[in-house]
Amino acid sequence: MSAPMLEMRGISKTFGAVTALSNVSLRLEAGSVLGLIGDNAAGKSTLMKILAGALRPDSGEILLDGAPVNFAHPIAARDAGIEMIYQDFALVPELTVTQNIFLGREITRSIAGLRVLDRSTMNARSEEMFAALGLRVPAVTLPVQALSGGQQQAVAIARATGFAARLVIMDEPTANLGAPAIARVRETITRLKNAGVAVIIISHRLEDIFAVGDRFMVMKQGHLVGDRNVDDTDNADLVEMIVTGVDARAARDPVADPT
């Protein structure tokens, strides 16, 4: 059997006396969508920030295609094809759409031996990214502070997916969005999945994951409770796991000894 695209094995993390994660493991295949769910302080965002290189684990390991990796910072994770869209979008309000997308990845050209920003090329590529994703903004030359919440979400998605990402992490991608914007986010996730990009969605909106996801992974107080295939569970089952922190199905039907 080939190795999964991503594995996180035995990840633990403490902040002083607080245990944020305790021996959490995760597996993800290319082109699959995983919903990471649980109540507040379940450890979901901490686990994903470790994967995105924003935090370092106290113990455990991360493997891509079966090979161990070590992300000392978010740029290292980005270089490996892992992008994270934060709940607040992490955009610079005063910069334009294009400037936000290419921040840290600016395209330059030479004029009289000097390197200058190639604004026209970056603007054109930004427009191509939105077209490929089926997303729209009024103009890529507008500052993002002039955009609606749904349009800013589109900018964050374009920035995360426009540079050959293998895995995109979305933290509450449909929070505070209206129905049309939610539909566009779901369509974008489906496009990514069809293109072979893996997606992890941190969300309290179970309906979004039922609509576009493949699996749920339930966490509580830094522990993995259990997981479910989307077509083998329902809201009541998941809510029970979130509230109790117990996978009653696993307790009733323990996995048979393969030997």
Residue 104 pLDDT: 87
Q: Is residue 78 part of a domain?
A: yes
Note the pLDDT of residue 162. 83
Task: Give me the domain span that covers residue 234.
Answer: 6-252
Residue 1 placed within a domain:
no
* Percentage of the chain exceeding pLDDT 90: 70
Cβ atoms 105, 160 nearer than 8 A: no
Each residue's pLDDT tens digit, 208-242: 999 999 999 999 999 999 999 999 999 999 999 99
CB atoms within 10 A of CB 128: 12
For the beta sheet containing 223-229, the strands, ordered from the edge strand earlier in sequence to the opposite edge, are 82-85, 167-171, 198-202, 33-37, 215-220, 223-229
| Residue 259 domain-assigned (yes or no) | no
61 in a structural domain: yes
Spatial CB neighbours of 89, under 8 Å, sequence gap ≥ 6: 152, 153, 155, 156
Confidence band (pLDDT; 50, 70, 90) for 251? confident
Confidence of residue 254 (pLDDT cuts 50, 70, 90): low
Look up the CATH number of the domain holding residue 210.
3.40.50.300
